[in-house]
A and B are shown apart, each in its own frame.
Chain A
Amino acid sequence: MSFMKNLIHGTNFDADSLNALQKVTLRAVVMSFLFFGLVAIEGVIMRLVKTGPANPLPKMFSHPDHFFSIMTAHPIVGIFGSTYQLVFAAFMFLVPYLTKKPLYSVKLANAVWLLITIGTALAWFAAFLWHYAPLYTLYWPLPADVHQFETIGGIVFVVGVALIMIGTLGFIYNIYATIFQRVGVHANKTTKELLISGFGIDGMLNLINKLRGKEPYTKEPALSLPVVAIFRGTVDTFLDAIVILGAGILVLVYLVADLGGVQLDVHSIDALLYKNYFWWGLDLVADGLVLIYVAGSWYLLATLISGQKLFMENVARAALMLELLVSWMVWSHHLLSDQPQPEMMKLVSGEMVTAFELLTQGLALFITLVTLWKGRPLKMSMELKYLLGGLIGFGLAVPAGIIQADMGMNRVLHNTSWISFAHFHIALIVGLYMTLYSALYVLWPLVTNNTQMYSKKLSNTHFWMYLIGGLGMGSVLGFAGLEGALRRHLYVHGEFGPYMILGAIFGAMIFIAWAIFLYNIVMSIGLKGLVGIFMPAKDKSASYGIED
């Protein structure tokens, strides 16, 4: 097939054959990968600026206003515009697929990707046009500092983030409404039964009954394990959305008052209390829903790839409940360098409870590996490769974070690039995204009606470039943190030179890998197919794999 023919028509993709559920899933996936490209470009720009005066970029990128605007937009675009969209798309397809029920509302699913896309774009424009740059942590009173930032920029930013959170609430409603629908296999289930299963209490009761030599509480749980993980993780997604919306309203009150000529006293809000509130909410993403969603995704992928039943399923169900409780109590590890923070909170929440994440994530890793092992020999498919990459990512990133969640280590690692690269960039880029790529390769035939991928060679090239780029950037810049490089600092004189140059090279590899991936996808579905995804579906079905 010629290049032009592929570019326009793809391999064998037919957008008209897709139903409403498939189309809404693909729309969010497309937006997610476009935002990923933007975030990769932003990352490369920041990396190049830090290589020093010889960097090839125009001088404006090294200006502090511009640099920190990029740094503010970067996580909003990356976490919400890209990751949230991809995860929400996958789950809004998977929950109906796994429960064999239709999605509660396709209209709502469309509203979700639109709200998140518009919200992300607004937040990005606030940074780009008005240089609103309080960073994603929004440490009080910086977001309301009208001496450093234009008020209008702050208002647009907060409205953007609020739209993202409203979209998130839409996703949550859709997921729970689908799970609690009493149709199909759940026609005779009560809400109580679904709740017990959703929280994994049935798994825990099964374990207790086993220890007491009794019959299992249930042999057939109402919800499959991946759905339980989605159910559980979504609790954290909800709490996080409420916290971020609350912080947004606070900032908005101050900014709108300023616009009206009223100067409210920023110190009437306690900065440390706000920090506790904000980190409690934000940590529900980093240490809550991400880990729970990822564990659930690993379990699903391991069973699908190996064709085996999940190893120690009851333990896995119970562990997901434990992970949820742990995620509510770990936020103080972000405040180990805040001296007014009570020591007991640092010790209990910051150190001890946080260390539990080693246990819960280690357990998920173990169960996944054993499940895969039981199915051997396996073909080294793309989905298996990416899953193993994801396991490496979290295998490296979780201990890197646990090491820093210590009063001794935190004194010399807090706010260094150790935490941002050895921990959360490796967790996100390698751990989370490689898991998501694995899910994408598993779901691809289902969502696209068996569309053939354009090139396996390009898939492999993407895998290796992305893995090496992600691990390379994470480790090189993580080690720069050990040399004193700060994570939210502008270095323009070539400080930490070799680390920053290598970091930029590895960062560029991630961007090139994304471009290769995008090319492969476009050549698979074609530009006509890409447009077709955004056209209304002829088949209005909101389910996949079940008879109407």
Chain B
Amino acid sequence: MTFATSLELLKFHAVAYTIYALIIVSTVAWFGYNLTQKEKVKSIVRIPFYGYMAFLVAGGVGHHIFTYNAIPWVSEDITRHDVKPDQEVNITVANHKWQLPQLPIKIKAHTKVFFNVQSKDLIYGFGIFRKDGTMVTQMQVDPMHKNDLLWTFNECGVYDITSTEYSGPAQYNEEGDDLMLVKDAIVVEGCKGGAK
């Protein structure tokens, strides 16, 4: 199983966590009901202590092994300094304003793009969003540090960017509009098979 986009991952996560939440709530409810019963209930499943511990260890470690193998940007992120990107995008941010190299930033789908974002004053976040508001990717932008993100876009479309980290109320105007939101900041084209 591999997730080509963050949207696929988040959909999978929503379903998996919903199932988990329903199981845990109903298990405690079942447990609470049976605590009050005089007659002994038949166990649906007998959980040995060390089996339970092994399950927790497997869950904690297995989660990371699963994501490392199923989410392509994990290994890309770890090895990003050894990868030759197809395109570099250098961005500066100061006084709650982005300085973009061009508008829109044009990117070819399925290529490796290296975003290099530098803050001159505060901590910001660099977030790329789809038109429906869902997040494509993001990173924190720490001032006076090199903040780089290697990303492969597997979906064509037009994307917005904004800060994903709070940097004070000056990010907004009096009406509450986000001044760091740049609409249509990134255009990704050239998907295989003409897919979106």
> Interface of A with B (CB < 8 Å)?
62-65, 67-68, 131, 133-135, 139-142, 145, 147-149, 267, 270-272, 275, 312, 335, 337-340, 343, 351-352, 355-356, 358-359, 362-363, 366, 369, 372-373, 376-380, 384-385, 388, 391-392, 395-396, 399-400, 402-403, 406-409, 411-412, 414-416, 422, 471, 475, 479, 482-486, 488-490, 492, 495-496
Q: Which of B98-106, B159-167, B183-191 binds A?
A: B159-167
Contact with B20, one of A139, A399, A409, A411 (Cβ below 8 angstroms): A399
Give the shortest distance, in Å, between B73 (CB) and chain A (any CB): 6
- Distance between Cα atoms of A343 and B79 in the complex (Å): 10
Given contacts A271-B145, A335-B140, 7 further A-B contacts (CB under 8 A): A376-B35, A384-B35, A403-B17, A484-B130, A489-B178, A490-B172, A492-B176
Give the residue of B37, B74, B135, B172 whose beta carbon is less than 8 angstroms from that of A407.
Answer: B74
Interface string of B41-83 (1 = CB under 8 A from A): 0000000010011001101110110011011011001100000
Residue of A nearest to B136 (CB): A412
Cα(A377)–Cα(B36), bound, Å: 5
Ordered by A's residue number, 26 sampled pairs between the chains whose C-beta atoms are within 8 Å are A62-B175, A62-B176, A67-B169, A135-B166, A141-B121, A142-B122, A142-B168, A271-B123, A356-B60, A358-B56, A358-B59, A362-B56, A373-B31, A373-B35, A380-B35, A388-B31, A396-B24, A399-B20, A408-B68, A409-B71, A411-B73, A414-B125, A415-B165, A416-B135, A485-B133, A492-B177
Max count, chain A CB within 10 A of own CB: residue among B34, B70, B143: B143
Does B84 touch A at the CB level, under 8 Å? no
Name the CB-closest residue of A to B168: A148
In the complex, what's the smallest C-beta–C-beta distance from A338 to chain B, in angstroms?
Answer: 5
Chain B residues within an 8 Å CB radius of A380: 32, 35-36
How far apart sit A339 and B173, CA to CA, in the bound complex (Å)?
A: 29
A482 touches B10 (CB 8 A): yes
Min distance, Cβ A321 to any Cβ of chain B, angstroms: 17
A270 to B142, CA, bound (A): 9
Residues of B within 8 A of A63 (CB): 174, 176
- Asked if A388 and B149 sit within 8 Å, CB to CB, the answer is no
- Check if A411 sits within 8 Å of B140, measured CB to CB: no
Q: Which A-chain residue is minimally distant from B117 (CB atoms)?
A: A339
Candidates A67, A275, A312; contact of B176 at CB < 8 Å: A67
Contact flag A352-B142 (CB < 8 Å), given A64-B176, A484-B129: no
Q: In the complex, which residues 124-163 of chain B have their Cβ closer than 8 Å to any Cβ of chain A?
A: 125, 127, 129-130, 132-140, 142-149
Query: Residues of B contacting A486 with CB < 8 Å?
Result: 127, 164
A496 B133 Cβ-Cβ under 8 A:
yes
* Residues in chain A near residue B20, CB distance under 8 A: 399
Least CB distance, B98 to chain A, in whole angstroms: 16
In the complex, whether B94 has a CB less than 8 A from a CB of chain A is: no
Residues of A within 8 A of B137 (CB): 411-412
Whole-angstrom distance between the Cβ of B54 and the nearest chain A Cβ: 10
CB within 8 Å of A: which residues of B? 6, 9-10, 13-14, 17, 20-21, 24-25, 28, 31-32, 34-38, 49, 52-53, 56-57, 59-61, 63-64, 67-68, 70-71, 73-74, 77-78, 121-123, 125, 127, 129-130, 132-140, 142-149, 164-178
Residues of A within 8 A of B70 (CB): 408
Give the distance to chain A from B72, nearest Cβ to Cβ, in Å. 9
> A67: shortest Cβ distance to chain B, in Å?
7
Residue among B53, B129, B165, B170 with the most chain A CB within 10 A? Answer: B165
Q: How far is the CA of A110 from the CA of B139 in the complex (A)?
A: 45
**Chain A nearest Cβ from B184, distance in angstroms:** 17
Q: Are B14 and A376 in contact (CB under 8 A)?
A: no
For A131, A409, A485, the residue with the greatest tally of chain B CB atoms inside 10 Å of its CB is A409
Contact partners of B53 in chain A: CB under 8 A: 359, 362-363
Q: What is the CB-to-nearest-CB distance from A288 to chain B, in angstroms, rounded to a whole number? A: 18
Q: B135 CB to closest chain A CB, in angstroms?
A: 5
**Shortest CB–CB separation between residue A258 and chain B, in angstroms?**
16
**Does more than half of chain A's interface fall in helix, strand or loop, or is it mixed?**
helix
Contact yes or no, B169 A133, CB < 8 A: yes
- B185 CB to closest chain A CB (Å) equals 15
Whole-angstrom distance between the Cβ of A467 and the nearest chain B Cβ: 10
Rank and list the top 5 A-B pairs by shortest CB-CB distance, nearest first. A355-B60, A408-B71, A492-B176, A408-B67, A64-B169
CA distance A131 to B168 in the complex (A): 11
Asked if residues B138 and A415 are in contact (CB atoms below 8 Å), the reply is: yes
Residues on B with beta carbons closer than 8 Å to the beta carbon of A351: 64
Q: A134-B168, A377-B37 are in contact. Are A355 and B77 (CB under 8 A)?
A: no
Specify which chain A residues have a CB less than 8 angstroms from the CB of B149 in the assembled complex. 339
User: Which chain A residues border B174 with CB–CB below 8 Å?
Assistant: 63-64
A356 contacts across to B, CB distance below 8 A? 60
B170 vs chain A, min Cβ distance (A):
5
CA distance A388 to B129 in the complex (A): 39
Q: Are B165 and A488 within 8 A (Cβ)?
A: yes
Chain A min CB distance to B81 (Å): 10
The listed residue (A65, A338, A355, A395) touching B142 by CB distance below 8 A is A338
Q: Please, how many angstroms separate the alpha-carbon atoms of A400 and B143 in the complex?
A: 30
Q: Contact check: which of B38, B139, B178 meets A339 at CB < 8 Å? A: B139
Given contacts A339-B149, A366-B49, A388-B28, A403 and B14 within 8 Å (CB-CB): no
Evaluate whether A133 and B147 lie within 8 angstroms (CB atoms) in the complex, with A366-B49, A377-B38, A403-B17 already known: no
